Amino acid sequence: MSAGHDVRFLDVFKGQPKAVWITAFAAVIAFMGIGLVDPILLSIAEALRAGPEQVTLLFSSYLGVQVVAMLITGAFSARFGPKRTVVTGLVLIVVATVLCALAGSIGELVALRAVWGLGNAFFIATALSVIVGAASGGQGAAIMLYEAALGIGLSTGPLLGALLGNISWRGPFAGTAVLMAIALILSAGFLPKDGPRSERAKVRLLDPIRALGHGGLLRTALGSAFYTAAFFIVLAWSPFVLEFGAIAVGLVFFGWGLCVAFAGVFLAPRLAARFGEVGGTIIAVLSFAVLLGAMAVGSKPVVVVAVILSGLASGLLNTLFTGSAMSISDAPRPVASAGYNFLRWLGGAVAATVVGHIATLFGSNHAPFAVGAVLCVIAAGLLSLELRSKGDAHQVPAEAALVGEEF
């Protein structure tokens, strides 16, 4: 890698177009929604008289709809343009979060989270391609910005949920609605207008599925799906194991989110530069498996420490998997992103749905963590196949690999 590709971390944030900053801000709020409900899961269960299996449906309905909708985001964006797609997603999220704050039953809340997931699907896949297409500094810099937004959103979501949830479980939904409304106004008013449809690449509805016919992308997406399942086991189930109040759970996941942000922005490029993108991903996913194993057998203090430290592994994996998926195949970025995100979030949706049943089946609240550890080992196995088949040919782009080397 030549010195000409050297990109200082702080330089990534200099001279970026207005569209990039607006999209990144909206992405922060969107990712806040993932961990927002974590600190208030027990409060929702108590207020709406729901069991753990019902409450975790707040994750699975959100992710399940998002998974299916990921398949149509590329075609929608190609037909109507990225700005219209982003704005449509944000409108759906604002409507859903407002109504979540007014919901009167767990059934209503689950249904509205599904609408929220639909809006998120339109926004997330399009936001990544918008940032990649508009950011200065190339794909590496764009991915760093995207992962920084993800880390900030994941870290502040639980904290916001804890602070507002300490007043009422409805508070976090209302707060998110206000922030998303701001993002909607900025996006509608300041994102560049969509060009003529004739200038946009044609994307057919099944193109994301066809893109997964590429062996490297398929193995990467499947590995990410198993990892994401383990990720959501930690996210959705830890509050029921810890049994802490909203503020305590929020602080635990705030620390976790800070680790996600730090590792995704600073550590992932160095790990990829040292061991290669696939090799670095294998190291990170096995580290996650070790931490999940500790959660499976440890006391509450051990679970707290392991949850926070797992943010480091998650930050590494989010960045490394995303970088690989966006560069491993010849498919257009929006198509590759949609296909990859379809499988990735499918893993999360399944895990969030069955995690409570796993605990019941094995008669232990710690059993889901053990299952998550096994899933991470499977992900490492898939990545090892990719490492042998390609010899780690799809290294992290030079720009991305060197981001964070000097800052």
Q: Give 303's pLDDT tier (boundaries 50, 70, 90).
A: very high
Is the predicted pLDDT of residue 291 greater than 90, yes or no?
yes
In the prediction, which pLDDT does 4 show? 34
In the prediction, which pLDDT does 236 show? 83
Query: Quick one: DSSP state of residue 263?
Result: I
Tell me, what amino acid is at 15?
G
- In SS3 terms, 174-226 reads as HHHHHHHHHHHHHHHHHCCCCCCHHHCCCCCCCHHHHHCCCHHHHHHHHHHHH
Query: Quick one: DSSP state of residue 48?
Result: T
What pLDDT, in 10s, does the model give residues 56-89?
Answer: 788 788 888 888 887 787 778 777 888 888 899 9
In the prediction, which pLDDT does 289 show? 97
Per-residue tokens: 405: 């080397």
In the prediction, which pLDDT does 13 show? 62
Is the predicted pLDDT of residue 11 greater than 80, yes or no?
no
In the prediction, which pLDDT does 132 show? 66
Residue-averaged pLDDT of the chain:
82
What pLDDT, in 10s, does the model give residues 89-129?
Answer: 999 999 999 999 999 899 999 999 999 989 988 887 677 67
- Domains plus CATH for the chain? 7-402 (1.20.1250.20)
- Across residues 166-190, what is the average pLDDT? 88
CA 192 vs CA 13, 124, 195: distances in Å = 20, 18, 9
In the prediction, which pLDDT does 392 show? 47
Is the predicted pLDDT of residue 394 greater than 50, yes or no?
no
Provide the whole-model pTM. 0.79
Contact 69, 145 (CB under 8 A): no
b/e sequence 113-144, b meaning 16+ C-beta within 10 Å: bbbbbbbbbbbbbbbbbbbbebbebbbbbbbb
In the prediction, which pLDDT does 10 show? 55
Is the predicted pLDDT of residue 266 greater than 60, yes or no?
yes
In the prediction, which pLDDT does 119 show? 92
Contacts for 15 with CB less than 8 Å, ≥ 6 apart: 136
Contact 85, 77 (CB under 8 A): yes
Is the predicted pLDDT of residue 233 greater than 90, yes or no?
yes
In the prediction, which pLDDT does 5 show? 36
- Across residues 250-279, what is the average pLDDT? 88
- In SS3 terms, 59-93 reads as HHHHHHHHHHHHHHHHHHHHHHCHHHHHHHHHHHH
